Amino acid sequence: MNKQKLFVGLSVLIIDQVLKGIIETLTKSYVIIDKVFSIKYVTNTGAAFSLFENNIFILILISLIILVLAYNLSFSFKSNKINNITFGLLYGGILGNLIDRVFYGYVRDFISIFKFPVFNIADMAIVCGIILLIITSIKGELNSKSGDKNENKSRRGNKAKNR
């Protein structure tokens, strides 16, 4: 794994875990902007929108599978700053919530915006990583074996060109 991915992933992981540790000591919610943004500690035994609620083993297994898939997928993309940030965000976010599930049996959430479900730094990193992954996929940031943008042309077309 390159240094950029490692730095981004570890940064997300550390910030996520430190903030969760601080926030879980709070005894009350804090309204930052009335009806818009507040800090509110909650625990979540499910995934997004309470999917697989109280099925910790399944959620740990899914997290591990997604982490391995993301790692393998990273080799399909060019090694550049945006792709390194993308996969670093994904690794850090997935690991942040995975650590919670393994050690606590639930994910610690604390960011409340509007009436959206409460979430955490790891969730934000995963969402941002997925958005960047979609953008880089659309932009054509995939690796090509020869580095040639015309690689997708048929072999026959390339043979005829070389004659």
The residues that are catalytic are 109, 123
As a whole number of angstroms, the distance between CA 48 and CA 86 comes to 20
Compute the residue count for the chain.
163
As a whole number of angstroms, the distance between CA 151 and CA 47 comes to 40
Strand partners, 73: none
Listed residue (68, 62, 57, 60) closest to 90, CA to CA: 68
User: What DSSP string runs through 18-30?
Assistant: HHHHHHTT-SS-E
